[in-house]
Amino acid sequence: MLPQRPLKLLCGALLALPSLWVHGGQAPAMVDLPPTETVQALILARPEVRAASAGLRADQAAGERLRASPHETTVRLQTQTRHSAEPGSAAPSQRYTEAQVALERTLRLPAKARQDDQVAQTTEALADVRKADAIHEASRALLRAWFDWQRDRALLALWHQQLEAQQALLDMAERRVRAGDAARTELLAQQAVWSQLETERQAAQTQEALSQARLNLHYPGLSAQAPPLSRPQASDLPVRPASEVIEALTNVSHERQVAERMADLAQAEAAKLDLGRQIDPTVGLYAARERGGAERVLGVSLSLPWGGAGREAAAKQGWAQALQAQESARSVSLAVRAQSEQAWLEAQGSLLRWQGLEASSQRLDELLQKMVKGWQLGEYGHGDVLQARRQHLDALKAAVAARADARHAACRLWLDLHEIWDFDDATPETVPAP
């Protein structure tokens, strides 16, 4: 583990390290990724993406409902029987059938209508960002699963190669034993190494099969289009200064955009609650037929609800929640910037780590070849060869894993910059499921 101060110095150096100006800010060709059309179809078929798309349609319908006004026209019908008798008269009372019909409608004030439209627009914008975020997160998951499988695939190929190399050493040990130049223990040691390598190859084969099965379970047929894992290069990373990359990652972050849209929505709803203190009048038109039709009535009604302390308290609550959402958005923005810096450092650091491990494995390979030749000539002992062989194998395994990590980090950076697999505006309806 690195000491604290050298680690801080390394992070500072990586942040200050500008890349070479080669690609002009655009992503290089990603030849070890599956075709974009296939990825897009698979991502848009994911249930979480379809759920977010349905949520967008639901919020669009909610926006239409808000724009249409919460008030509806009310039709009121009333009928009654009137008995009329003169006081002190012996004449029987008169009986009349009477009826009344009324038409009433609560009128939304123009300011409230405009604010409802603002709430609807903000709700739809939030749902749109959430759908884009679901697509982006699904793309991230696919990218991770893809490079997990590519790593296990490369490790399996490594063990096949090393078994062939070990077979050559085993044959060499057999010749030396037959010629009387070595003890039989050397042959037994090489056979033990071969068995160990075969065991590790079988474990790698199982792991590769599991990774492929998981990949095909969530993304059917994706492993059928499998280009080999590329060698990482400095030009794989964005060709802009670190500060520009971090700023761009922060600006296009869906997490930050969702938090900001939620703050906008809280602000719009608080303004709506504040306007709710104003009274919406209810206007009515009614007609009545009284005394069996002898009297006819036509009139207009107006009713005004009397706002109380509840509306005032609701407005205060809305503004407090809006302030809370704004502060939460600021907190999310800071966290996203920290994550962007971390992503940039990881991409740079993973490239440097792979370069170091690749160089180390090459030097150990050269050392192993020299020691094998020296072993044949009697200059080195068999134990020295076995130790060099194990060091070389460890370096190769680490280099292969670092290679996959470096490629994933670079592709993840371009994905988060929306330079590859940028189909956030697509919907499951526009691209058929595979």
Closest CA to 383 of 183, 200, 198: 183
pLDDT at 11: 43
Question: Considering the chain, what is the average pLDDT of its residues?
Answer: 86
pLDDT at 278: 85
Residue 73 or 306, more confident: 73
pLDDT at 85: 67
Residue whose tokens read 């502060």: 327
pLDDT at 8: 42
Tell me 104's DSSP state.
E
Query: Token pair for residue 420?
Result: 């590859």
Query: Token pair for residue 79?
Result: 């009928």
For helices 309-377 and 382-416, the axis angle rounded to 10 degrees is: 150
pLDDT at 22: 34
Measured CA to CA, the distance from residue 230 to residue 347 in angstroms comes to 15
pLDDT at 10: 41
Check: pTM over 0.85? Answer yes or no.
no
pLDDT at 71: 85
> What is the per-residue pLDDT across 393-427, written as a single tens digit (0 to 9) for each?
999 999 999 999 999 999 999 999 999 999 988 88
* 8 Å CB contact between 324 and 254: no
Q: State mean pLDDT over 169-198.
A: 83
> What is the per-residue pLDDT across 1-37, written as a single tens digit (0 to 9) for each?
334 444 343 444 444 443 333 334 567 878 899 999 9
Residues found in the chain: 434
How many C-alpha atoms does 111 have within 13 Å on its Cβ side? 10
Show the beta-strand stretches assigned E in 232-312. 282-290, 295-303
Measured CA to CA, the distance from residue 161 to residue 73 in angstroms comes to 80
Q: State mean pLDDT over 315-342.
A: 95
- Out of 91-95, 299-303, 406-410, 422-426, which region has the weakest mean confidence (pLDDT)? 91-95
pLDDT at 17: 41
